[in-house]
Chain A
Amino acid sequence: MSDSAAEQKGMASKAHAEVHSDEEATLEGKSYRLKIFRGDAEGGKEVEYEIEAIEGMVVLDAVLKIQAEQANDLAVRWNCKAAHCGSCSAEINGRPKLLCKTRVEEYEGQEIRVHPIRAFPVIKDLVSDVSWNYGVSAQIQPFTTSEQAPFTMYEEDVERLYEPKKCIECFMCQDVCHVLRTHHKHPEFAGPRFFVRSQWLEMHPKDEGNRLQFLKEGRGGVQLCNITKCCSEVCPVGIHITDNSIIPLKERVADEYYDPAKWLMRKIRGRRNGSSNGNGGTRSTHARAGIRTNG
């Protein structure tokens, strides 16, 4: 190793050590008060617990420590503890968070109030029944194509599909959405998670399905969304749900149902509202229409 490299390594480790010792200095011997919801669908109350902080402790660690040492019957759902599975979503001080990704030191000087996600029925303590979401998912027309896999697809056609595929289904966007949480529009509104899924399907170059009618007139209810962006604010994987999923879908719905020029064109061509899958079409629809493609 050259001198400069060794020097750099030394600097890096020294810098790390300093941060490390700072953290130890701030967390050493500190205790945090957690108020955790204890109860079920019938009702419940907050119960206060005090724990001693450990360096790097996340709220899930604190809850599991309480479960191990103070309240063995405390119910909490978790799995990967790495912000990948989306199981441990809950509300911390009134905002949806992944328990495994939220450090207790973020709440220094404040009490930490942990509740289950409230847009869905509580089963026990911090566990909610999110099965409603799987029912909605089943109602969305799945990926539909007349082509035989494996497909040849081009990077330029699929680059927009990476972002929606990052979703870990933590359902925090569903929880923070006031249409579900406050207005209880569950029977007529799919929620941000399923707009992300619908956007992925609608923009897929090989998909031939049509979900615009579902989104506008059916179970989707995209027009009930008033784009206040709470879903984007809470997404733990950083999906720009409103800008890149909901608004593009609203624009497609506007194309089909609210644009007088496009309505006139449809009348001339003799096509009904909501009968297209977006405007760009797919390779197979273009092939049927005799449009030459590169692929």
Chain B
Amino acid sequence: MAYGDIARSTTGVLRRLPWWTGPIAVTAALVGFGIYVFVTVMLFDRGEYENYLSPFYSPPVGGESFLPAWLSPAIFILWLPLGFRATCYYYRKAYYRAFFWDPPACSSKAQQRELRGPEHYRGETALFVWNNIHRYFMYGSFVLLVFLTIDTVRAFLPEGSFGITLGSLIFLVNVSLLWTYSLSCHSLRHVIGGSVDCYSCVKGGNARRKAYNWLSVLNRQHALWAWLSLFSLLITDVYIRLLLAGVITDFRLV
């Protein structure tokens, strides 16, 4: 079957699905991820196996003896990527639709099911006005990404010398997806070039325009990067948990 036929039949199938399948699928995925992270962080105070460090626990801050055991590095760190995703323009769309049904979907039938009446709808002027600090979470997330990149390099150095293992490849895919997701951020796109009206009028305008156009290409698939990077985070942590529990052993390729 040609690619066009597959795309057409997939679109046809998706179009025929009831409107509520989208919000329910998103709710299930986000709630599932939230429960996994919460349980993991509450149950385990560490996420390190040999040269692997779980992305939830990187960088390994805290851990001082006077602190209670449940105050793991994850508690100190996770608010930052969590805030980055919670204020992300894509996730905002996803949770307004899935959790708040504001609206759950675009059809007139779905919009009639909105939970809030017109007198209570405030958009992003009341509580959600805090989403405007997204750019600050973005800056912080780039700092974390540097640590995650260092962790990935360490993952390729089992026993101190270069080697490729299944775990290191999982780390590489994970950090690549996290970088792609972060670079496709709408706020970064704005900071780099979206805020400029006249590129030929400002210093470095041409470089900013090129960077803006490049980021815009990534930005077109921001939702895809958001989901893929979320799942890659999950898979990376699950892999380390399985290694720690002795359920699997790391497979060395080179």
- Chain A residues whose CB sits within 8 angstroms of the CB of B132 once the complex forms: 250, 253-254, 257-259
Q: Complex: how many Å from CA A203 to CA B206?
A: 16
User: From B97, which residue of chain A is reached at the shortest CB distance?
Assistant: A228
Proximity string of chain B (104-117) to chain A, C-beta cutoff 8 Å, 1 when within and 0 when not:
00111101101000
Asked if A230 and B196 sit within 8 Å, CB to CB, the answer is no
A280-293 interface mask toward B, CB cutoff 8 Å, 1 = contact, 0 = none?
A: 11110010000101
> With A157-B199, A280-B202 as given contacts, are A95 and B194 in contact (CB-CB < 8 Å)?
no
Closest residue on chain B to residue A279 by CB atoms:
B195
B75-93, CB < 8 A from A: 89, 92-93
The total number of A-B Cβ pairs within 8 Å is 153
Main secondary structure of the interface of B (DSSP, over half): helix
| C-alpha gap A243/B222 in the complex (Å) | 10
Would you call A280 and B196 a contact (CB within 8 A)?
yes
Q: Is A204 in the interface zone, CB < 8 Å from B?
A: yes
CA distance A250 to B124 in the complex (A): 10
Give A240 to B219 CA distance when docked, in angstroms: 11
Task: Let me know if A247 is at the binding interface, CB within 8 A.
Answer: yes
Known contacts A223-B124, A230-B106, A243-B220, A207 near B118 by CB under 8 Å: no
With contacts A94-B109, A183-B121 taken as known, whether A178 is within 8 angstroms of B195 at the C-beta atoms is no
Say yes or no for B133: interface residue by CB 8 A criterion: yes
B102 to chain A, nearest CB (A): 6
A105 to chain B, nearest CB (A): 12
The smallest beta-carbon distance between A230 and chain B, in angstroms, is: 4
B121 touching A251, Cβ below 8 Å: no
How many Å from the CB of A190 to the closest CB on chain B?
13
Name the contact of B197 in the complex, choosing from A221, A225, A242, A277 (C-beta under 8 A): A277
Residues of A within 8 A of B39 (CB): none
Q: Would you give the 0/1 interface string for A88-101, flagging 1 where the beta carbon is closer than 8 Å to chain B? A: 00010111000000
**What chain B residues lie within 8 Å of A156 (beta carbons)?**
199-200, 205-206, 209
Kindly provide the distance from the CB of B20 to the nearest chain A CB, expressed in whole angstroms. Answer: 14
Q: With an 8 A cutoff between CB atoms, is A146 at the interface? A: no
User: Quick check: A157 and B194 within 8 Å, CB to CB?
Assistant: no
Give the residues in chain A near B112, CB-CB below 8 Å.
Answer: 182
Give 7 pairs: A residue, B residue, CB < 8 Å, sorted on A.
A156-B209, A178-B111, A234-B106, A242-B89, A253-B132, A257-B132, A281-B198
Taking Cβ atoms with an 8 Å cutoff, the residues of B that contact A are: 89, 92-93, 96-97, 102-103, 106-109, 111-112, 114, 118, 121-125, 128-129, 132-135, 186-187, 190, 194-202, 205-206, 209, 219-220, 222
